[in-house]
Amino acid sequence: MKLLVLMILLVGSISAAAQTAELKPMVMGLPFQVKRVKAILQYQDFVNTTLVDAGYKVTVHTSKGRLTSQMLVGGELDAVTYDDKTWTEGRDKTVSVSFPIIRTRARIFYLADNQKFNEAKLKKFKGGFSTNNIALNKEAERRKLKYINTVSPLQSVVDLLAGKIDYFVAIQEVGLSVIESHPEAKGKVVMGKLVFLEVPLYMTFAKRFDPDMPKIEAAFKKALTGDLSKYPLIMENLNKEP
pLDDT tens column, 25-66:
999 998 766 676 788 889 999 999 999 999 999 999 888 778
Chain segment 119-150, per-residue pLDDT in tens: 999 999 999 999 989 999 999 999 999 999 99
What's CA 75's distance to the chain center, in Å? 20
Does 88 lie in the same domain as 31? yes
**DSSP string covering 183-227:** TTTTTTEEEEEEEEEEEEEEEEEEGGGGGGHHHHHHHHHHHHTS-
Does 78 lie in the same domain as 6? yes
In a domain, 232, yes or no: no
Q: What's this model's pTM, rounded to 2 decimal places?
A: 0.80
Instruction: Encode burial over 138-176: b for 16+ CB neighbours within 10 A, e otherwise.
Output: ebbeeeebebeebbbbbbbbbbbeeeebbbbbbbbbbbb
Residue 214: burial class (beta carbons within 10 Å; 0-12, 13-18, 19+):
exposed
Does 160 lie in the same domain as 207? no
Q: What is the CATH number of the domain that holds 179?
A: 3.40.190.10
In a domain, 127, yes or no: yes
Judged against a pLDDT cut of 60, whether residue 167 lies above it is answered with yes
Q: What is the pLDDT of residue 181?
A: 87
Q: What is the mean pLDDT of the chain?
A: 89
Tell me which residue range forms the domain holding 177. 104-198
Does 214 lie in the same domain as 94? yes
Provide the domain count of the chain. Answer: 2
Q: What is the pLDDT of residue 21?
A: 53
Does 125 lie in the same domain as 97? no
